[in-house]
Structure 1
């Protein structure tokens, strides 16, 4: 059959099969068959930074046998696992004058913080922002649940799963929010390779929620779509400090259900005028739809909303002008720190990894350090917003 007469459905199916096969081969070249990702070890300097202490104090703790010994290299350098950090953090907090000085998660009376990362446009860095925030905060001792509600399941893939194989028809967040025979959310939550992070996975089956909801609305099926996610989260929230949504790049029922369950909102925006114009439409549509679900009884009270500048190039004059425009327009609702556009972040993504997973030695030192400083700045600012929401 010639190219001009081939059926488009056949062409698309062939392309889908080819890319699926290529991705499978790529994953097998990156990870051994049936292997799961493992988190690297951290140097003493990295460990001290994450614990909020000096390297000399960390050495002192070892010298005085107040913490257990960790893995050492042939030259005597110490390396710490995420589990080691959690153990040391607990020891530090047990001896602190003010409880919670090192364990900064929820305390009695604190509500779980549920944050949605979203934008109307693809390519605005939602998934990158979500996964780096989750990992930085987990390394600082928070208990994190990531909820992937994008049927494309990029966040799920970054945690080492193959959605098209592992969660083709079952095992996703869809199972917990579907209208017919939903299961407890705890049954679909997966432990991840990253200490402190659990995952409610996504897969293409999630698209069914978008198809089923109009019929459910017509038949007045209860609970309504905007309550189902919040009800599912309520079953497990006691186990977590933070719940992070990676939303799809459209304002559908999945995104709306996440917004109705959230306590904070991060809108990612790339600083160019086309993206800003798209965001304007997105915000107007969001407001109109949220009016409708608010009138239907959905809670709409947030602790904070912020615009997160993404893929920022500091030496790009037009981008600087757009950022200045946004800051003038939205004031403190634009985060002080911006996420830089970095080859280190994109190169790490080639192997389905993040900056917090890769070794510094794999990159040019300055490139890695700039990316890490940018990500830490964004995520530490986010942490301060979370702490402020808890009244600290």
Structure 2
């Protein structure tokens, strides 16, 4: 009697990878038309007014007085607004505003670009969810935003409607702008997205090559060194943006350190349970030790702010409440006031590679949607306040 045939793990893994890739491609084709890119939905008058920071009645008055261009209107007379419409209205409102920057809140002459890194050592802490919702909301509020995906898994890039394993497998990712041999201009890898005012620097599996190549580059003293390459590459395009957001990989490697050395603010996501907090403790100690090394090598280590963002929070969970109280007692004001709630709306939207800001309210139970939106808006309002404070406002 002979035993079962042995499994050749390399062959089996390759088969699994091919089967999964085919299934994912089929899912994408079902979710979106072939060769089509995602499109952003239109916003109701109520949503538009909230994003503009004015009342719905004032928005109606502006239309009644013909002070605004026409927007998409249904046969029943309901107006709907695109991201581009919102920016046109903001510009018109700013021209007659009593206070400069009342409606256009981005950089002014002399303001430096704000570069935010969302990071943690542990996967599943909500880095990508937090970074994409922040990038999208800031864009909806009129900021010029660049989202930079430096995670080889490229989840952020996928959420923008791309297939990194096909679209950026060999070229076109952020790797091309920071590689050691013949780097491309940063502007050549930037992709426009379906969000007005929000661009993407894509990630992809090839980013892992940066981790592999850096030790050799250090031995050969290739300049600029790894910790300065991201900041150097960004200099070409930073004048075009108010905010740059890094979605970092769940590891403390050369990519993460390069992003940190280019950042002006850091948001550490943490799920409030003791295993995650213990993992974060190790992450913080390792970060400090490694950043000491790159600081001694000449890296800039000055940040406008560092905050801990509580993620996947369930207010009714007693042990989670205790962990949050523990973190607030330990870190004080460095723990953000607003937590990101755990929500089925966020996870369900992700099934179709969308965010909560992209889906219609009618797609969910009203209370579930409102709870998720309120939580996301509170977090992003707090982040916006940090940006404004960093600009001295």
| Shorter-chain TM band | over 0.9
Distance 1:312 1:98 in 2: 38
Deviation (angstroms), 1:220: 1.0
1:241-280 to 2 correspondences below 5 Å: 241-280=242-281
Name 2:198's counterpart in structure 1: 197
Question: Which residue of 1 is the match for residue 312 of structure 2?
Answer: 311
How far does the alpha carbon of each residue in 1:316-363 deviate from its partner, in whole angstroms, 9 at most, with x for none? Answer: 000000000000000000000000000000000000000000000000
Matching residue of 1:288: 289
Give the ranges of 4+ consecutive aligned residues of structure 1 lying more than 3 Å apart after TM superposition. 1-4
Q: Which residue of 2 aligns with 1:207?
A: 208
1:120 and 2:121 equivalent?
A: yes
d(CA) in 1 for partners of 2:109 and 2:164?
37
Task: After TM superposition, list the pairs within 5 Å mapping 1:1-392 onto structure 2.
Answer: 5-392=6-393
Distance 2:347 2:361 in 1: 14
CA-to-partner distance for each residue in 1:239-262, whole Å, 9 max, x for gaps?
A: 000000000000000000000000
Q: SS of 1:357's equivalent?
A: coil
Distance 1:337 1:98 in 2: 28
Q: Distance in 2 between matches of 1:189 and 1:78?
A: 32
Deviations 1:142-174 (A, max 9, x none): 000000000000000011111011001000000
Partner Cα distance (2:289, 2:174) in 1:
26
Aligned residues: 392
Q: Distance in 2 between matches of 1:345 and 1:224?
A: 38
CA distance in 1, matches of 2:270, 2:75: 46
Deviations 1:55-77, CA, capped at 9 Å, x for gaps: 00000000000001111112111
Shift of 1:219: 1.0
* 1:13/1:96 CA distance change after superposition, 3 Å: same
Q: CA deviation at 1:2?
A: 7.8
Q: Please, what is the CA RMSD of the aligned residues?
A: 0.9
Q: SS in structure 1 opposite 2:165?
A: helix
**Equivalent position SS for 1:351:** coil
Distance in 1 of aligned mates of 2:171 and 2:210 = 13
TM-score normalised by structure 1 residue count? 0.99
Deviation at 1:4, TM superposition (A): 5.5
1:145 is paired with a residue whose SS is strand
Q: Which 5+ residue runs of structure 2 have no aligned equivalent?
A: none
Q: Which structure 1 segments of 5+ residues have no match? A: none
Q: Distance in 2 between matches of 1:377 and 1:386?
A: 14
